[in-house]
Amino acid sequence: MTKDETKQVVLDIIADIAPDEDISNLKPDVRLRDQMQLDSMDFLDIVMELRKRHNIEVPEADYPQLASLDSCAEYLTPKFTALGK
């Protein structure tokens, strides 16, 4: 999986957990929280959906790695690769 594909995985999840938001123009290098209404429960949703949909675990200590789309791609792509995706 490429980093762009990883970003799309995260965007698909965000589209479901924040259905009122326009996510078409999210800047990849800016914190998600600074661009849209996302609270701590929403971040737990992202973690839960990565677990449910892709069998990827994100330990609590690594939550800051999900701050932006770029950091998500950096952090998650190796995990997808490790799973053979």
Partner 1 sequence: MSFKSPRIVITGVGLTAPNGNTLSEFRQNLLNGVGGIEKREIRYMGELLAGVCHYDALKYQTKKELRVGTRAGSISIYCAREAVADSKIDFANYPKDRIGIYVGTTEHGNVETENEVYAISKFNYDTKYWSHYHNPRTVSNNPAGEVSLNLGITGPAYTIGAACAAGNMGLIHAAQMLRLGEVDLAICGGVSESIHTFGIFAGFKSQNALASHPDPLKASRPFDKARNGIVISEGGALYTLERLDDAVARGAKIYGEIAGYCVNSDASDYVLPNPGRQAECVRKALSSAGMTPQDIHIVNTHATATPLGDIQECQAIGAVFADCPDTYINNTKSYIGHCMGAAGALELAGNLPSFDDLVVHPTINVDDLDPQCALPGLVINHPKKVGKVDAILNNSFGMLGINSTLIVKRFVA
Site residues (vs partner 1, CB under 8 A)? 17-20, 37, 41, 44-45, 48, 51-52
Q: How far is the CB of 27 from partner 1 (least distance, A)?
A: 21
Nearer to partner 1, 19 or 84 (CB): 19
DSSP one-letter code for 37 = -
User: At a CB cut-off of 8 Å and minimum separation 6, what does 80 contact?
Assistant: 1, 5, 6, 9, 54, 56
Nearer to partner 1, 45 or 70 (CB): 45
Instruction: Give the residue carrying structure tokens 């990565």.
Output: 50
Q: How far is the CB of 36 from partner 1 (least distance, A)?
A: 11
Q: How far is the CB of 22 from partner 1 (least distance, A)?
A: 13
- Count each helix (H run) and each strand (E run) in the chain, helices first: 3, 0
